[in-house]
Amino acid sequence: MDFTTYSINDFVADESFQAYVADADSEAGRFWQAWLAEHPGQKIDVDQAYALVQGLGPAQLYPVPAGLKEQELLRLRQALKTASPQPWLRWQRRTRLLVGTSVVAVLAAVGWWQWPGITGPTTQYLAGPNQQRTLTLPDGSVVVLNGNATLTTAARWTATTPREVWLTGEAYFRVTHRAAPAVRDIAAAPASAKFVVHAGGLDIAVLGTQFNVNSQPTGTKVVLNSGKVAVDRHAWLTTENLLMQPGDLVETSAAAPHLARRHVQPALYSAWTQGELRLQQTSVRAIVQLLRDAYGWEVVATDSTLLNQTLTGILPANTPDLLLPALAKTLGVQVSRTGNVVRFQPLAR
């Protein structure tokens, strides 16, 4: 089958694509990841379809008659087209009802649909594979896009309208502060003073600060370098809110949708913008966590005492084929990678 002809609706209705969203490590998941790697031009449609299917939450996807699928998707599209106008872009939210083959109606959607409705001119910035791109937005904010990332903004910015951007992939933000000096509370600040990033079902609001966002189909992570960040996640009839402090990592995923917070070394998570990891008495435990977060690897250390060692120096950040041998040499251990699994173990004697 030629999946390059698929529309977003086709992806959403495809049962193997639904299986991929439910479990990226399944056979279907591996197929779609390999297919997307071969067809990067389809990434935007695939990401949007993924977000739609992900909105169904962890509930079981019941078989749906093709006619009903088309009706529901048509209603969704129509709702997006007829939404009330906004100055720039707007996220539409909608629940979806799936009906099984039995006579019982099943409410499978436990999340809100989040979809950017374009009601005016927009500008889209793309970074190609293995490419970094630095942007200066009209308000003076600087964004560094990592490979395969996409940032969408309104084409027209003014001093009195909100600053909003939509992100897929990874980006580092240095946001210009334009609130009055006395304004420190993000929630109480006027809309025109806020800068909001919409990524992976999260609304990430700041006044002016530096932070990293990595939004992938499997989940979204936000790491705060300085200042404060307010994170909102909209769910079925509820909204989760967190106010981040420097050093916080907040994440959500399809498997664990609720916001989770932990403390990290933020400089490690923005090191990709400089192409290197600058380590200063950094524990191997922190580096292992970075490998899990940044690359999605399962990291195993056969000798737990290794995790307590510390490193000082500079390592390559953006090329795993260079980073892992550098770690092995520096630590004096064997580091091997098989697929998604990285193993740290003592050298054979």
Among residues of the chain, what percentage have pLDDT more than 90? 25
Radius of gyration of the chain (CA): 21
Burial class of residue 94 in the structure, from the number of CB atoms within 10 Å of its CB (0-12 exposed, 13-18 middle, 19+ buried): middle
Q: What is the pLDDT confidence band of residue 275, given thresholds at 50, 70 and 90?
A: confident
Domain count, the chain: 3
For residue 213, pLDDT beyond 90: yes
Cα(341)–Cα(297) distance, integer angstroms: 6
In a domain, 132, yes or no: yes
Residue 57 lies in a domain: yes
94, 130: one domain: no
pLDDT tier for residue 180 given thresholds of 50, 70 and 90: low
CATH code of the domain containing 240: 2.60.120.1440
Residue with tokens 């992976």: 200
Helix/strand/coil percentages in the chain, nearest 5: 30, 35, 35
Q: What is the mean pLDDT of residues 60-88?
A: 45
Last residue of a domain, one of 61, 91, 116: 116
User: Is 318 found in the same domain as 194?
Assistant: no
Per-residue pLDDT tens digits for 35-44:
888 888 888 8
**Do 296 and 172 share a domain, yes or no?**
no
Query: Does residue 86 sit within a domain?
Result: yes
pLDDT in tens, 222-251: 999 998 899 999 877 778 989 999 999 999
The residue ranking higher by pLDDT, 69 or 120, is 120
Q: How far is CA 77 from the centre of its chain?
A: 24
Residue 269 lies in a domain: no
- Tell me: pLDDT of 152 over 50: yes
Q: How many Å apart are CA 328 and CA 83, to the nearest integer?
A: 55
Q: Are 80 and 131 within one domain?
A: no
Residue 266 — φ and ψ, nearest 5°?
A: -60, -30
Q: 335 and 213, same structural domain?
A: no
Does residue 69 register a pLDDT over 80?
Answer: no
Last residue of a domain, one of 238, 262, 286: 262
Specify whether 199 is located in the same domain as 110.
no
| pLDDT score for 57 | 46
pLDDT beyond 90 at 141: yes
Q: 199, 233, 262 — which closes off a domain?
A: 262
Model pLDDT, residue 47: 83
278 and 208 in a single domain? The answer is: no
Greater confidence (73 vs 118) lies with: 73
- Look at residue 333 and tell me if it is in a domain: yes
* Residue span of the structural domain in which 199 resides: 121-262
How confident is the model at residue 216, as a pLDDT? Answer: 87
Tell me whether residue 268 is in a domain: no
**What are the CB-based long-range contacts (under 8 Å, 24+) for 253-260?**
253/218, 253/219, 253/220, 254/21, 254/22, 254/54, 254/58, 254/218, 254/219, 255/58, 255/219, 257/57, 257/58, 257/111, 257/201, 257/233, 258/233, 259/231, 259/233
65 and 155 in a single domain? The answer is no
- pLDDT of 211 reads 96
**Does 112 share its domain with 125?**
no
pLDDT score recorded for residue 232 = 92
Residue 258 CB-density burial (10 A; 0-12 exposed, 13-18 middle, 19+ buried): exposed
* Residue closest to 259 by CA, chosen among 247, 246, 237, 241: 241
Residue pair 123/155 in contact (Cβ under 8 Å)? The answer is yes
What integer is the mean pLDDT of 45-66?
60
> Within this chain, do residues 70 and 47 fall inside the same structural domain, yes or no?
yes
Q: Categorize the per-residue pLDDT at 208 as very low, low, confident or very high, splitting at 50, 70 and 90.
A: confident
> What pTM, to 2 d.p., does this model score?
0.62
**What region does 144 belong to: left with phi over 0, alpha with psi -120 to 50, or beta?**
beta
SS3 322: helix
Mean pLDDT of 322-326: 87
pLDDT band at residue 9 using 50, 70 and 90 as cut-offs: confident
CA angle centred on 289, ends 40 and 309, rounded to 5°: 140
The answer to the question of residue 308 being in a domain is yes
- Write down the pLDDT at residue 58: 44
